[in-house]
Amino acid sequence: MKVKVHPSLIEGKIKAPPSKSIGIRLIFLSLLTKVNIKIENPSDDIKVALEAVNAIKQGRDYIYLGGSATALRMLIPIVSALGKKVTLDGDETLRRRPLVTIFKALKGVKFSSTSLPLTLEGKLEKEIEIDGWESSQYISGLIYAYHILGGGMIKINPPLSSTSYIRMTIDVFNKLGSDVKMEDNIIYVNPGNLEQYNGYVPGDFALASFYAIASLLTGGKLEITGLYEPPNYFGDHSIVKILSKMNAKSFYSGSWIIESSPIYYPVTVDVNDAPDLAPSIATIASIAKGVSELKGVERLRIKESDRISTIISTLKSFNICASYKESIIVHGGKPQFASIVCPKDHRIAMMGGDLSLLSGGEIEKAECVNKSNPKFWEDLIMLGGKINIA
């Protein structure tokens, strides 16, 4: 699919796309308690999680996970807690993902390969020690696994990345009656009687940020509804305050309110605990009056694409000066028309779409947004985007 984007004013009111992270956590929660949720226009990753849970419940020994690293990394500990022999596979992007950390940690589990496709067989031990640098998703998966086993302890060797997603998992369980504590680098899982979950999947701040930034780039005003109340720790929701720091009108009061400014200031942000914000921040930094710096970005190399490289190459395509030396450096400028090909990375396609709303542009393989937000292009059109889809 190819989209042609013309300079447009993005403004109005829109409901945030459902949170991929919370949605997958709720779907896996259905292995432990009753979950009643309705997901409209499910993304590819949500569909994968649903299919994975069905496969486990039906006792299947083969599970295909598409391109969902979240589902894969959370599922490995869950399957090991169940003591099943299961083969896991995924698409070419997932086959490239490193799995070294979880192989090293699961001493009682045998793996047929160091990458997908692989078969695992064995049983998770009641206590585990795991390196925290590669992915927080393993640790979230271990929290589920120890609920299956009746409790356990997770010792995390620093450095730890994406801590906010671990806290998200802990919040999900504790709100439903469990007792999960994170003390320094140790997590204690003491399962309680979990209540059933009835409700909806709240909106996703990182995905919604592409709507917010599209409006800021084009001089608009926007209200985004359906989001959760931002917690006190740094996470995807912190984009609200980051944009405010850059001189946008940006605040949360029941919904996220965004209003553009004639000038945006550069920003220095460490995104280690919320790496999915990097493409969004880099996009608005492209027009800031000065040099912005994104620190803590090394884990971006093992996303759907090497996101350090693809963020920089996308900015350069739009004639924005960007480079990498331990951090991503973005020199604010004036984006110009560009044609890009999505490198099978949904957030890079959204980044290119936002920049194109200011400068004009074309995105090939634009259907890659289906991984997290299949309504992305449709939503931008609804908000005033002049976009042709072919």
* Binding-site residue positions for phosphoenolpyruvate: 20, 97, 137, 307, 347, 371
Determine contact, residues 243/216, Cβ cutoff 8 Å: yes
C-alpha span between 94 and 127 (Å, rounded)? 28
Q: Which residues contact 318 (CB under 8 A, 6 or more apart)?
A: 286, 335, 336, 337, 338, 352, 355, 359, 361
Three-state DSSP state, 107: coil
- Tally helices (H) and strands (E) across the chain: 13, 22
The active-site residue, picked from 204, 276, 345, 354, is 276
Count Cβ atoms below 10 Å from residue 119 Cβ, excluding itself. Answer: 15
C-alpha span between 231 and 245 (Å, rounded)? 18
Three-state DSSP state, 82: helix
Report the residue count for the chain.
390
- In eight-state DSSP terms, residue 114 is S
What pairs with residue 155 in β-bridges? 129, 186
Asked if 306 is an active-site residue, the reply is no
Closest by Cα among 304, 316, 266 to 287:
266
Residues annotated within the binding site for 3-phosphoshikimate are: 20-21, 25, 135-137, 162, 276, 303
> Which residues form the catalytic set?
276
